[in-house]
Amino acid sequence: MQTKKVVSVLLAGVTTLSMAMPVLAANGDPNLVVTPDTKYSTPIQADSEVTLGLMPANSYYQRTGFDSADAAANGLEVSKINLGADKISSVFTYGSKTVDGLYAGTVTVKGKKGQYGPASLHIVNKNNTSAGIDMTVYVEAAETQKDVKVAEVQVTDVSNNIAQVIDEGAENLDVAAAKTEIANPFNGSEGAAQSYPTAGDALYSLAEANQMNFAQKGGYVQSVTDNKGNTLKEYTTKDWTYYGWNYCVVRGEKKVAEGDILSAAVLEVKDGDSVYWAFGTMDQANQYFDDLLKK
């Protein structure tokens, strides 16, 4: 009987260990991802706050979660405010929640009173600080901001894969906040600022002026169609090369660096800006933007 009891205890220990190991390993998994109810670009209403949910993921970006509520509540850290420190509080509140049976950490971000516009945060898993993610939050203005007049908006195909079917532009365009233009594809869209004019709204101004149209999802432009019916739509080749729409804002003859981190649908444009859109790979688009700045 004693031998059987020892064997039973040993087997129970092995079973417990085998069940615990995968769960414990999740705390330090190589990736950090958002929970299904959190967007990579999230609005904060004026003078308010928003709570983001994140959890560990394996090498295939499959959500694994923290191993307990306590681990989740203590597993996240905002390691850096990439930009927009004047828009949000530097004090963050951490917590936990359960999503689809998995433990997730939460980060509550507060917008500063009287401010509006985007901010970018780098959030890391404290159990594996190489597992990090850049999150965008954008503070909506308490009052809808006035229209601005941009110097130029241009859309160009730089992919070199097909005939240059789209090359459109216009100067001195009025750009309005998305919420004021019902026909604007960014109007009411998740991931798109509603209360102040953005680089995305500048594309709408060009589309309206030149009888063009475009499609977007979550604040990101998916396709553009000119007034002749030519369309350039995002796609990925067999070797996983991605072609899509990239943008750049030039202010005072310099590139607005925030555009490298933020989507066009949250980056504010100002009087005199120039907004350029390029279809191609990111490298092709960046080369095009660099060449523009050299002229």
21 compared with 211, residue with greater pLDDT? 211
The predicted structure's pLDDT at residue 22? 44
Is residue 17 within 8 A of residue 9, CB to CB? The reply is no
Examine the pLDDT at 132 and tell me if it is beyond 90.
yes
Is residue 278 within 8 A of residue 288, CB to CB? The reply is yes
- Dist CA 194 CA 145 (whole Å): 10
Mean pLDDT, rounded, for 10-36: 63
Question: What mean pLDDT, rounded, does the chain reach?
Answer: 91
Mean pLDDT, rounded, for 12-29: 52
**Window from 22-31, 189-198, 215-224 with minimum mean pLDDT:** 22-31
216: left (phi over 0), alpha (psi -120 to 50) or beta: beta
This model's pTM is above 0.95: no
Mean pLDDT, rounded, for 145-159: 97
Q: What are the tens digits of pLDDT across the range 40-67? A: 999 999 889 999 999 999 999 999 999 9
User: Cα dihedral angle (141, 146, 152, 158), rounded to 10 degrees?
Assistant: 30
Amino acid at the residue 38? T
Q: What are the tens digits of pLDDT across the range 111-120? A: 999 999 999 9
Q: What are the tens digits of pLDDT across the range 71-116? A: 999 999 999 999 999 999 999 999 999 999 999 999 999 999 999 9
- Dist CA 86 CA 113 (whole Å): 10
Examine the pLDDT at 187 and tell me if it is beyond 70.
yes
The predicted structure's pLDDT at residue 165? 80
* Residue 12 pLDDT class (50, 70, 90 cuts): very low
- Dist CA 260 CA 282 (whole Å): 11
List 138's β-bridge partners, or say none: 43, 118
The predicted structure's pLDDT at residue 26? 79
The predicted structure's pLDDT at residue 164? 62
Q: What is the 3-state secondary structure (H, E, C) of the chain?
A: CHHHHHHHHHHHHHHHHHHHHHHHHHCCCCEEEECCCCCCEEEECCCCEEEEEEEEECCCCCECCECCHHHHHCCEEEEEEEECCCCECCCCEEEEEEECCEEEEEEEEEECCCCCEEEEEEEEECCEEEEEEEEEEEECCCCCCCCEEEEEEEEEECCCCCCCCCEEEEEEEEECCHHHCCCCCCCCCCCCCCCCCEHHHHHHHHHHHCCCEEEEECCEEEEEECCCCCEEECEECCCCCEEEEEEEEEECCEECHHHHCCCCCCCECCCCCEEEEEEECHHHHHHHHHHHHHC
Q: What are the tens digits of pLDDT across the range 228-256? A: 999 999 999 999 999 999 999 999 999 99
Q: Compute CA distances 252 → 71, 153, 220, 243, 249, whole Å.
A: 47, 15, 25, 29, 10
* Residue 160 pLDDT class (50, 70, 90 cuts): confident
Is residue 33 within 8 A of residue 41, CB to CB? The reply is no
The predicted structure's pLDDT at residue 162? 64
